Chain A
Amino acid sequence: MRAGKLVLLFLAGGLFGMGLTVSGMTDPARVIGFLDIFGAWDPALLFVMAGAVGIYGMGMLILRRFAGVKLSSAAASPIDRQLVIGATIFGVGWGLGGFCPGPALANLGALQIEALLFVPTMAIGMLLAQRFFGADRE
Chain B
Amino acid sequence: MQEIAICGLFDIRASSLQPSSRRLPMLHHYTLWHALVGGILIGLASLLATALSGKIPGISGVFGRLLVPATPDKAWRSVFLFGLIGGAALSFALWQSAALFRPMRPLLVMAIAGLLVGFGTRLGGGCTSGHGVCGVGMGAKDSIAATLIFMATAMLTVFIYNRVVL
* Main SS at interface, chain B: helix
Alpha-carbon separation in the docked complex, A29 to B100 (Å): 9
| Cβ distance B58 to chain A, nearest Cβ, rounded Å | 7
Given A14-B87, A92-B153, A19 contacting B42 (CB threshold 8 A) = yes
Given contacts A14-B84, A55-B44, A95-B153, contact A77 B142 (CB under 8 A): yes
Residue B140 lies at the interface, judged by CB distance under 8 Å to chain A:
yes
Contact count A vs B, C-beta below 8 Å: 485
Given known A-B contacts A53-B137, A87-B146, A22 and B38 have beta carbons under 8 A apart: yes
Question: Count of chain B residues with Cβ under 8 Å from any Cβ of A?
Answer: 116
Interface centre among A23, A32, A36, A54 (most CB of B within 10 A): A23
Are A87 and B153 in contact, with the CB atoms below 8 A? yes
Neighbouring A residues of B135 by C-beta, 8 Å: 76
- A37:B155 contact, CB within 8 angstroms: yes
Interface of A is mostly: helix
Is B154 within 8 A of A91, CB to CB? Answer: yes
Task: Say yes or no: A109 contacts B145, CB within 8 Å.
Answer: no
Task: Kindly supply a per-residue 1/0 record for chain A positions 1-37, scoring 1 wherever the CB is within 8 Å of any chain B CB and 0 otherwise.
Answer: 1000110111111111111111111111100100111
What are 27 A-B pairs at a CB distance below 8 A? A9-B48, A12-B83, A13-B45, A14-B83, A17-B87, A17-B90, A32-B158, A37-B155, A48-B35, A51-B37, A51-B40, A55-B137, A60-B50, A63-B50, A79-B142, A87-B120, A87-B146, A89-B123, A90-B153, A91-B149, A93-B112, A95-B161, A99-B113, A101-B127, A110-B89, A127-B67, A135-B122
> Which 3 A-B pairs rank lowest in CB-CB distance, beginning with the nearest?
A13-B83, A23-B38, A86-B124
Chain A contacts to B: CB under 8 angstroms? 1, 5-6, 8-29, 32, 35-39, 43-45, 47-57, 59-60, 63, 67, 69-74, 76-79, 82-102, 104-110, 112-114, 117-130, 133, 135-138
